[in-house]
DNA sequence: CAACAGTTTAGAATAATTATAATGTATAAT
DNA sequence: ATTATACATTATAATTATTCTAAACTGTTG
């Protein structure tokens, strides 16, 4: 979702009704310089803390799913009980800090291209993404 | 956990009491040629279907966590509400079939070595693992 | 403005996982 | 061998993330 844009029109364009809640969430999610990694709970907290608003939990779930479906949010695979999302929807990689549970983007050009020598017969490759787990030191590997 | 081994002794060696349930689970998990990917529910089902036994759900959770802690099982990161485990505890990669939800191992030597150009200051890299999503065709990327 | 379809909402329902507390069992010391 | 003890198992309750539901609400279209 482009920054500095009229979210009302933008939402209409992509076939979602521009409700108050959706516009608020757009502002929270897409008016940012850096890509943003979050869980549903992070969002709910930010809405009440930073925007002094209240959007029902169900709506946050609905809206995040709608944006994901339209391709403006991406679900990130990490070992967690919660689901993480990213405003960077391109195919890219992540550092995952095992101590702070923070995600940091690692773009395609931060990694030499990955060359697969194996494939699955009858299947096409949809994405190849790397998860780099980091920790300060004497941490166990998983 | 080595194949063809006396699980009673092995469990004692690694500091876990060799209870009936743990030995049964060892047999189910580690007496295999290929690496085994599973969820807790897969295990519970296999115990009753293939072994005609009943081990309580809590014990399955406890035991899987104990084995994981001791380094004999590895948690796999994929987008799922369930947690996946792998008997292959080495650092390695996975194909994830978006249609069948099946995991397939992809060893380190099936991929040219990954060269990171970026790092996180003050943090050590603990693992670098690749998830390759596959599907038969006209499937969306995520 | 009226009518309709799409949205929001609170709260119920579900599903995975973890905690609890009573009972059972492997083990080390007697 | 027996017993005491610490560790395990179990059924069940509790918790947490997520999804469903049905009623109230709101953009949009005519």
Give just the sign of the alpha carbon dihedral B108, B114, B120, B124: positive
pLDDT in tens, B104-142: 999 989 999 899 999 999 999 999 999 999 998 764 444
For chain A, residues with pLDDT lower than 70 are 1-5, 138-142
Find the residue closest to C25 using CA and C1' atoms: B19
Select the residue of A74, A83, A130 nearest B130 (Cβ to Cβ): A130
Q: What CATH number was assigned to the domain covering residues A7-76?
A: 1.10.10.10
Annotated domain spans of chain B: 7-76, 90-134
**What's the CA A36/C1' C8 distance, rounded, in angstroms?**
25
Strand partners, B38: B85
Q: How far apart are CA B130 and CA B128, in angstroms?
A: 7
Contact B134 A126 (CB under 8 A): yes
Please give the residue of chain A at the shortest CA–CA distance from B141. A126
pLDDT at residue A142 in the model: 44
pLDDT at residue B133 in the model: 94
CA A33 to chain B, closest CA, distance in angstroms equals 20
CB distance B142 to B136 below 8 Å: no
Select the residue of A83, A124, A135 nearest B134 (Cβ to Cβ): A124
């Amino acid at each position: 979702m482009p920054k500095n844009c009229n979210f009302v029109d933008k939402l209409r364009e992509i076939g979602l009704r521009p409700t108050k809640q959706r516009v608020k969430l757009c502002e929270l999610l897409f008016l940012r310089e850096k890509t943003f990694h979050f869980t549903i709970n992070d969002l709910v907290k930010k809405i009440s803390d930073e925007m002094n608003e209240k959007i029902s939990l169900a709506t946050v779930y609905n809206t995040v799913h709608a944006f994901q479906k339209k391709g403006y949010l991406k679900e990130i695979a990490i070992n967690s009980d919660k689901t993480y999302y990213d405003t960077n929807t391109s195919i890219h990689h992540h550092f995952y800090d095992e101590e702070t549970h923070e995600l940091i983007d690692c773009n395609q050009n931060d990694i030499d291209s990955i060359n697969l020598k194996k494939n699955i017969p009858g299947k096409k490759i949809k994405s190849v993404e790397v998860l780099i787990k980091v920790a300060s030191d004497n941490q166990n590997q998983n």
